[in-house]
């Protein structure tokens, strides 16, 4: 049990608790709802519960982190046509069938589209 005392300061952190509540509500909501709808229901209900019961600064910090991660994903995708998650998986997007294929593939295994040149992983046409 001594090894678990290392995590005690983490669980006392209100921001960690906020995201832990959000994750638990997310899991519960995903049982009944679509993943995206479950995210919004869990995050908004966690924010509402937290504002009613605890300090109002923690949800602002939490939403700032969520917004930062969202911007980190959307800005490269919209302006640079670069998908971060495909890059991390070592894949690229086929412009014909929109399947994720290996970044070195010259022909899409699903629709036989021929890629022009060697695109980098994560790039979308």
Q: Please write the tens of the pLDDT for every residue from 61-80.
A: 999 999 999 998 889 888 88
Q: Report pLDDT for 66.
A: 93
* Cβ contact 62:15 at 8 Å: yes
At 11, list the tokens. Answer: 């669980």
- C-alpha torsion sign, points 74, 75, 79, 80: negative
pLDDT cut 70: percent of the chain above it: 94
* Cβ contact 100:92 at 8 Å: yes
Same domain, 110 and 61: no
Same domain, 51 and 88: no
**Beta pairing partners, 107:** 114
Same domain, 72 and 86: no
Q: Report pLDDT for 120.
A: 57
Same domain, 75 and 98: no
Highest mean pLDDT among 43-47, 78-82, 85-89: 43-47
**For the whole model, what pTM was predicted?**
0.68
d(CA 98, CA 83): 12
Is pLDDT at 2 greater than 90 in this prediction?
no
58 is in which domain, residue-wise?
Answer: 2-79
Same domain, 18 and 68: yes
d(CA 114, CA 85): 23
Same domain, 90 and 72: no
**pLDDT tens readout for residues 88-121:** 899 998 989 989 999 899 999 999 999 987 555 5
């Amino acid at each position: 049990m001594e090894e678990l005392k290392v995590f005690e300061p983490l669980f006392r952190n209100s921001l960690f608790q906020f995201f832990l509540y959000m994750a638990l509500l997310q899991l519960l909501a995903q049982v009944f709802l679509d993943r995206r709808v479950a995210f919004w229901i869990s995050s908004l209900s966690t924010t509402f519960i937290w504002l009613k019961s605890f300090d109002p600064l923690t949800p602002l910090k939490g939403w700032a982190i969520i917004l930062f991660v969202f911007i980190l994903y959307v800005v490269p995708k919209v302006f640079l046509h670069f998908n971060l998650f495909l890059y991390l998986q070592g894949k690229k997007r086929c412009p014909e069938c929109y399947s994720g294929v290996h970044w070195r593939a010259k022909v899409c295994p699903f629709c036989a589209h021929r890629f022009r040149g060697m695109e980098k992983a994560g790039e979308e046409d």
